[in-house]
Structure 1
Amino acid sequence: MNGGRERRGARGLAVDLGVLALGVFFWMYIAGERMNTEMPSPPWLFDVDMATGLLALPTLWLRRRWPTQAAVALIAVSWYSETIAFPLLVMLFSVVVRRPLRTAAWVYAASLAASAVYMVLRPEEMGLAGSIGFALSLHAAVAGWGLFVRYRRQLEARAAQAEQDERERARQRARDELARELHDMLGHRLSLLSLHAGGMEYRPDAPAEELTRAAGVVREQSQLAMRDLREIIAILRAPIGELPQPTMADLQALVDEARPGMRIELTAHVEGEVPERTGRTAYRIVQEALTNARKHAEDAPVEVTVEGRVGEGLAVTVRSGPGRDAGPGSGHGLIGLEERAALAGGRLEYGPAADGGWRVHAWLPWTA
C-alpha cells in the first residue's frame, strides 16, 4: 500500500471534514453521557480525559499520511481515556487499509492490550468479561471493514494495471503492424528500384528505348516510395487504423506495377466479394512473394493464382521458377507473412518447388 503522502482531492477533503465532524460529535456525546451518569474517580480524571480527547481530534487529519504513528500515539493514552475511542478506531481502520498486514496486527494487539488495562482501571457495568467481549467485537468489526476496503482497492488497482497492460499490448501490436506495413510497402518499391537500376548498370549497351523504360520505372517507383514514406510519417502521428489499406481489388494494379522487368501471370477465380481483412492479407502475401521472387529468382517467370468462394475460403499461390539470385535475404518477410496468415485465421506454407523454383501457398478463411 502507498506509504507516501497522498494528495487530497475535493472528494477526499469532503470525507476528511466529515470524519473530523464525526469525531467532534462523538467527543461531545461521550462527555455528555459521562456527566449524566457516573463521573470517573478521581474527579480530575474526567478533565484529563476531555482534554486528551480534544487533543486527539486533529490526528484524524493525519490518517492518510501517518496512520501508524497516530494510532500508536492514541493507544498510548487509551488506557485511561474513553473520549479518544472514535479517533483510535479510525486510525486502526486506516492502518489496516494503508499499511502492511503485519504492522496492522501489531497495532491491533497493542490496542487490545491497552483496552484490557482500561477495563481493569475503569470497570463498566457489563463486567470485565462483557467489556473484553465488546472490545474484541469492536476491534474485529473495524478490522473486517478495513480488510474489505483494502482488498477492494487492491482489486481495483489490479484491474487498472491490467487495463494499462492491455493498452501497452495494443500499442505494441500497432507498432508491429506498422513495422509489417513498412516492410511490405517499401520492400516492394525498393526491390523494383534495385532491379531496374541494376539492369541499367549492367546493360549500358541496351537499346535506348529499354533504358528509357527502365529509367521511367526507377523514377516512378522513387516517387511512389517517397509518397509511402510521407504517408507512414503521417501515420506515426495517428492511429494505426488510419493507414491506407489495400484490398483484393488492388491486386491487379500490384501485378501490373511489378510487371516491368518481370514475367508475371495472374489467374484469379474468385466467386463473391472477398471480405476486407481476407483481401488485405492476400494482397500482402502476393506483394511479399513478388518481392522475394524479384530478389531471389530474377528473370524467372512467376505465376500468381487466387481462388476462393464463400464457405471454402481463399487460396493464394505464388510460384516462381528458378532464376538468378540477386542477393541474400533476411527471411523476416516470410516470417511476417506467417504471422499475418495466422492472425487472419489462416495458414501459410512455403518452400522449394519441384522444378527448382519457389512456392508460397496460403489459405485464408472467408471471414470479415
Structure 2
Amino acid sequence: MSTVSGHEQAQAPQEFAGRRWLFPSAVVHELDPDAGALGRPPRRTARDWVVDFSCFLLAVALGLAAADTLRHDPHTPHALAVVDQLLGVLACAAVWLRRRWPFGLAVAMIPLGFLSNTSGGAALVTLFTLAVHRPFRYVAWVGGIGLALMPGFYWLRPDPDLPYAAVVTLTTLMTVSVISWGLFVRSKRQLMLSLRDRARRAETEARLRAEQAQRLAREAIAREMHDVLAHRLTLLSVHAGALEFRPDAPREEIARAAGVIRESAHEALQDLREIIGVLRTGDSDDTGRPQPTLAALDALVAESREAGMKVSLDNRVTDPAGVPASVGRTAYRIAQEALTNARKHAPGAEVTVTVTGAPGDGLAVSVHNPAPASVPRPVPGSGQGLIGLTERATLAGGRLEHGPTADGGFEVRGRLPWGAA
C-alpha cells in the first residue's frame, strides 16, 4: 500500500551504507538491491579480510596434507606430483578471487580438482562460496558434477592410506556438508536482510500513516473552523456593510447593528479559542463548551432573526432527544451553513428551514430561500462551504444535495441516517 517518496528512496541506500558492517559486503552486493545503488563495487571490510585469509589458510592446509600424501605414494610419478602441487598452488591463490567470480571459479575447479589432488581444499572453499553467493540451481549443477566425477578420480588415483569405498564416502560427506553449510549461511543472511527490509518498510508505512492521520486531522479542523466561524463572520460583514451604506440610519437601528457586531465578534472569538484549544490538545471533543446539536437549532434560528433575517422553522422530528449527537451536530452545521449562504446571497428573502425524521427513517434537513428582491452586495467567502458540508454528510453516512430551484431561489437538502432504537 504504501508509496515511498523519491527522497526516501535516495536516503535508504545512505542509511544502509552506514550499517554495511553488519553483513558481508559481497553477500550484500548479491542479495540486497540497495547495495547496487551505491554506485561502486563492494569493498572488503575487515571481517571480509579475516574470512578470506582464513579460507586461504584452510585451502593451503588441506593442500599441504594432500601433498604430503603424494610424497608417500609410490604409485604417483614424481613429475605428476610436481604438476599436481603447482596446480594446487594456483588453486589456493585463486581463492582470493572467490567473491568476484564465485560461479566461474567453482566451474574451473571441476577439471582442476580432477587433475590435482592438492587443489581439493580450494575446491571445497569455492563450492562453499558458490552456495553462499548464488541460488541453489548453480550449486546443484556444480556440486552434482563434482560428486559424479569423484568415484572416477579415486579410481584412477587411489588413496594410499584408505580403501576406495571409504575415501569416496568420506569425500562425498565432506562435499555435501560444505554445500549444506553454505546454503545455511545464505539462508541466514537472506533472513537478516529480509528482516531489515521489513523493519524499514514498517517504519516507512508507519510514517505515512502518521502523515495521513495528521492530514485528515487538519482537514477536519479546517472544516470545523469554517463551519463555526463563517456564520459569525458573515454577521459581522453584513451588519458592518449596512452601517457603511446607510450612515444616516436611525440611531436605534445603528445601535442594534452595533450590538449584533459586538455579540458576533465575541462569539467568533470564543469559537476561535475553542478551535485553538483543539489544536493544542489534539482532541476534537475536548472543548470548553458542548458542541451544538439539533437541540440548538432553535437558538440558531432566533439568532438569525435577531440579525434581521426572515426565518421560519418547521421542526417535525418525532423524538428530538433521541437523535444521535453526531447526526444532530451534522444537521445543525447544514442549517447553519445554509442560513449563512442565504444571508450573503439572498438578503431580505424569507428562508424556510424544515427538519423531519424519525428513528429508522433517517433525518432530513431542508433550507430553502426564494430569489432575492435585489442584487446582493458582495460578501467575501471561500466558496468551499457546501463542499465541506457534502463531505461532512458523506462521513456521517448520509448525502447532501444543493442547487437552484424553479422559483429562482436556492435549496440545500440533507439526508442523514438515524437507526431504530
User: What TM-score comes out, normalization by structure 2 length?
Assistant: 0.62
- Which residue in the other structure is 2:376 paired with? 325
| CA 279–360 in structure 1, closer or farther in 2 if over 3 Å, else same | same
Opposite residue 164 of structure 1, the aligned amino acid is R
- Which residue in the other structure is 2:256 paired with? 213
- Which residue in the other structure is 1:274 paired with? 323
- Which residue in the other structure is 2:120 paired with? 120
CA contact (8 A) 1:183 1:333 kept: yes
Of 311-320 and 158-167, the range deviating more from structure 2 = 158-167
- Which residue in the other structure is 2:56 paired with? 79
CA contact (8 A) 2:401 2:412 kept: yes
- Identify the match of residue 3 of structure 1 among 3, 10, 16: 16
CA contact (8 A) 1:178 1:240 kept: no
Of 328-337 and 316-325, the range deviating more from structure 2 = 328-337
- Which residue in the other structure is 1:143 paired with? 186
Note the alpha carbon deviations across 1:119-157, whole angstroms, 9 max, x for none. 714899654443332211111112112223322333343
Query: Alpha-carbon deviation of 1:165?
Result: 1.6
Return the alpha-carbon distance in structure 1 between the equivalents of residues 184 and 24 of structure 2.
22
- Identify the match of residue 189 of structure 1 among 232, 241, 264: 232
Return the alpha-carbon distance in structure 1 between the equivalents of residues 119 and 331 of structure 2.
82
Correspondences of 1:238-257 after superposition (within 5 Å): 238-242=281-285, 244=287, 245-257=291-303
Opposite residue 361 of structure 1, the aligned amino acid is R
Return the alpha-carbon distance in structure 2 between the equivalents of residues 290 and 105 of structure 1.
77
Query: Alpha-carbon deviation of 1:198?
Result: 1.6
- Identify the match of residue 343 of structure 1 among 366, 374, 395: 395
User: What TM-score comes out, normalization by structure 1 length?
Assistant: 0.70
Task: Please identify runs of 4+ aligned residues in structure 1 that moved more than 3 A.
Answer: 65-68, 104-119, 121-130
CA contact (8 A) 1:269 1:308 kept: yes
Opposite residue 229 of structure 2, the aligned amino acid is L
CA contact (8 A) 2:109 2:123 kept: no
Query: Alpha-carbon deviation of 1:357?
Result: 0.8
Query: Alpha-carbon deviation of 1:213?
Result: 1.1
CA contact (8 A) 1:320 1:358 kept: yes
Q: Percent identity?
A: 42
Structure 1 gaps, min length 5? 7-61, 83-103
- Which residue in the other structure is 1:262 paired with? 309
Opposite residue 366 of structure 1, the aligned amino acid is W
Structure 2 gaps, min length 5? 1-12, 27-43, 60-97, 125-166
Of 302-311 and 127-136, the range deviating more from structure 2 = 127-136
Query: Alpha-carbon deviation of 1:66?
Result: 6.8
Of 335-344 and 229-238, the range deviating more from structure 2 = 229-238
Tell me the number of residue pairs that the alignment of Structure 1 and Structure 2 aligns: 294
Opposite residue 267 of structure 1, the aligned amino acid is D
Return the alpha-carbon distance in structure 1 between the equivalents of residues 292 and 105 of structure 2.
71
Note the alpha carbon deviations across 1:292-323, whole angstroms, 9 max, x for none. 11111111111111111111111110101211
CA contact (8 A) 1:196 1:261 kept: no
| CA 321–123 in structure 1, closer or farther in 2 if over 3 Å, else same | closer
CA contact (8 A) 2:24 2:48 kept: no
Give the superposed CA RMSD: 3.3
| Mapped pair 1:362 → 2:414 | yes
| CA 357–121 in structure 1, closer or farther in 2 if over 3 Å, else same | closer
